[in-house]
Amino acid sequence: MTLPTRQIKALCFDYCNTLVEYGRRQIADQYSTLGDLLSELFGACDRDRLQEIRDKQALAPYSNGFRENDPREISEELITELYGVAPEEEHVERIMRTRYETFVKAITLDENVLRLLTRLSERYRLSLISNYPCSRSIRDSLEKIGLSGMFASVVISADVGYIKPDGRPFESLTSELGLSPSQCVLIGDNWLADVQGAKRAGMYAIHLKQHVPYERFESSQEDHDPDASIGHIEELGQILLDD
């Protein structure tokens, strides 16, 4: 399908593994740092069990009605599950701070992506819609890489209380933009959260396959097809600017 570029007013980007890479390597680094902290606080950490718990927590919103995780609750759960002790506030705060710091540190921006966004912004309004349980992590990382002023709207699941593909993040986005869903196109890597979420919300969707998402979902016969699929983000210029 050819995207009706003259009808589209806003480009809505997913964040991790779309504009920036945050996949298995970065998550493994975060788990390693968490393991070091837990070992310091409580003694030897079962790293395999740590990964098992964190992976389960990351997928939990997809089976609980798409409700976003609470960072404090999942930090408390990590201590209880690994060590069988009641969490103390100081320890919970250190885990939350470590997750925040490792996330922001891991985020970098390719200069080519910045140039592409600058070109796209001359024609479209740009926005961001991200699944992440800590709003501060996303906003501070955007500041770090120089993108905080690029977007007309930034919607984060932590603020909405629900993750994509639930309709509420998309409703918040289009409401903030003052546009109808049919005037927006979502660009993202996650088949369920981004492609299916956008299509169910009435938006156009471009599936980006440049990075391997940590949370992978297979397609089914009932799924919507994306309006376009691309292997690299720079292909957006060909689709959205060359008409």
| Residues 75 and 87 sit within 8 Å (Cβ to Cβ) | yes
Angle between helices 89-106 and 24-42 (to 10 degrees): 150
pLDDT at position 85 is 96
Tell me the whole-structure pTM to 2 decimals. Answer: 0.95
Given strand 204-208, what is the order of strands in its sheet?
153-156, 125-130, 10-13, 184-188, 204-208, 228-230
pLDDT of 97 over the 90 cut = yes
- Categorize the per-residue pLDDT at 1 as very low, low, confident or very high, splitting at 50, 70 and 90: low
Percent of the chain with pLDDT over 90: 91
| Residues 209 and 38 sit within 8 Å (Cβ to Cβ) | no
- Categorize the per-residue pLDDT at 26 as very low, low, confident or very high, splitting at 50, 70 and 90: very high
pLDDT of 242 over the 80 cut = no
